[in-house]
Amino acid sequence: MKRDLISIADLGRPDLLRYLEQAAHVEALPAASKSRLLTGRVLAVLFFEPSTRTRLSFEAAMARLGGSVLGFAEATTASVVKGESLRDTARTVERYADILAIRHPREGAARVVAEATGIPIVNAGDGTNQHPSQTLLDLYTLKKYFGTLDGLKIALAGDLKYSRTVHSLVQALALFDAVEFTLVSPPMLRLPEYLRESGPAARAKFAETEVLDDAVERCNVVYMTRVQKERFPDLLEYEKVKDAYCIDARLLQHAAPGLKIMHPLPRVNEIHADVDQTPHAGYFDQVANGVIMRQAIMLDLLGVTP
Ligand code: CP
């Protein structure tokens, strides 16, 4: 039976640990031996929304494993503009590729594609819902920093309503022991209730605040997010909250020792450039770990043992 990566809610703690182990193994392999693991395999990337990191890191991951890539970076160049359905697009592309990564503005789109096709599907972001490969690379980055995911004190800050990276990350970290979440957002951008009340998150410890400074002093990690302008039905509402939080080097003078600032990127105003040179900056480590984790994901879904 084929396997997909659609939602963190489909995974258990053993699955997450398996991905983390696989990524560590892949990272340790010499480049030369990695470069033949997926020779002859083809990755399709169907991106109906903009992306820099997710699409290019999937492409880099496949290229460095010896495979090749086809697809599109914007839907305007595909036959969907002529009215072709998502299912027909996917059923066509599965004839050309061995594995498919899709980003789409509609929640549930990746699952529709997974159910319509016989090749492994990776959800590279579906609307405000899920971004599971981002979460796996976030977990890998956290594991490298702290050695464990148990007992972390993590603040999630900014747009907790629309950020799919936060939604996936909450579901994943809730599977680990004694993780404490501090939710930092304006009232308008609070984490949806269903994410706190269902699954393992229902047993997790949450605190909620509108103030970031205290979290910087108490937490191991502050995970910043961009306020997602493209998701707001009313841009006047966006204007009210777009600059709600900004971390800068001055604020970090009171940071907990070893605090890491993470961000899925792209950032707009949430993290001042003066943080980049501090030991707290973790976001470009996340970028680098994205290639490794996406290699691990593709090898796993294609059933290739490195
Ligand atoms: N983190 C992330 O999904 O970035 P992109 O939108 O650039 O892919």
One-letter-per-residue 3-state SS of 216-276? HHHCCEEEECCCCHHHCCCHHHHHHHCCCCCECCCHHHHCCCCCEEECCCCCCCCECHHHC
The whole-number average pLDDT for the span 53-58 is 98
**Ligand 1 neighbours by CB, cut-off 6 Å:** 51-54, 125, 134, 264-266
- The rounded distance, in Å, linking the Cα atoms of 249 and 231 is 30
- Rounded to the nearest angstrom, the distance between the alpha carbon of 89 and the centre of ligand 1 is 23
Pairing of strands 42-47, 99-104: parallel
For residue range 241-291, list pLDDT tens digits in order: 999 999 999 999 989 889 999 999 999 999 999 999 999 999 999 999 999
For the chain, percent helix, then strand, then coil, each to nearest 5? 45, 15, 40
The tens digit of pLDDT for each residue in 103-116 reads 999 999 999 999 99
pTM metric for this prediction: 0.97
Write the residue with the smallest CA distance to atom 1 of ligand 1.
264
Q: What is the mean pLDDT of residues 176-204?
A: 96
Average pLDDT along the chain: 97
What pLDDT does residue 257 have?
A: 87
Token duo for residue 78 = 């595909």
Mean pLDDT of 186-204: 95
Identify residue 286 by its one-letter amino acid code: Q
**pLDDT band with cut points at 50, 70 and 90 for residue 98:** very high
**Neighbour-count burial for 294-305, b at 16+ CB within 10 Å, e otherwise:** bbbbbbbbbeee
Give the distance (Å) from ligand 1 centre to CA of residue 109: 17
Contact 259, 220 (CB under 8 A): yes
Question: If you ran DSSP here, which 8-state letter would residue 151 be given?
Answer: T
pLDDT one-digit tens code per residue, 4-31 = 999 999 999 999 999 999 999 999 999 9
Which residue minimizes the CA distance to atom 6 of ligand 1? 51
DSSP conformational letter for 190: P
Residue range 88-108: mean pLDDT, rounded: 98
Fold of 132-286: Rossmann fold (3.40.50)
Give, for ligand 1, the residue of 57, 140, 263, 265 to mutate: max count of ligand atoms closer than 8 Å to Cβ: 265
Q: 260 forms bridges with which residues in the sheet?
A: 221
Residue 54 Cα, ligand 1 centroid: separation in angstroms? 5
Residue 301 in contact with residue 276, Cβ under 8 Å?
no
Overall average pLDDT of the 296-301 stretch: 98
CA-based torsion, 229, 231, 237, 240: positive or negative? negative
CATH code for the structural domain at 8-131+290-301: 3.40.50.1370
Q: Is residue 171 within 8 Å of residue 195, measured between CB atoms?
A: yes
As a dihedral over the C-alpha atoms of residue 158, residue 160, residue 165, residue 169, rounded to 10 degrees, the angle is 110
Active site residues: 53-54, 82, 103, 131
Residues of the chain with CATH 3.40.50.1370: 8-131+290-301, 132-286
Alpha-carbon 202 to chain mean position: 22
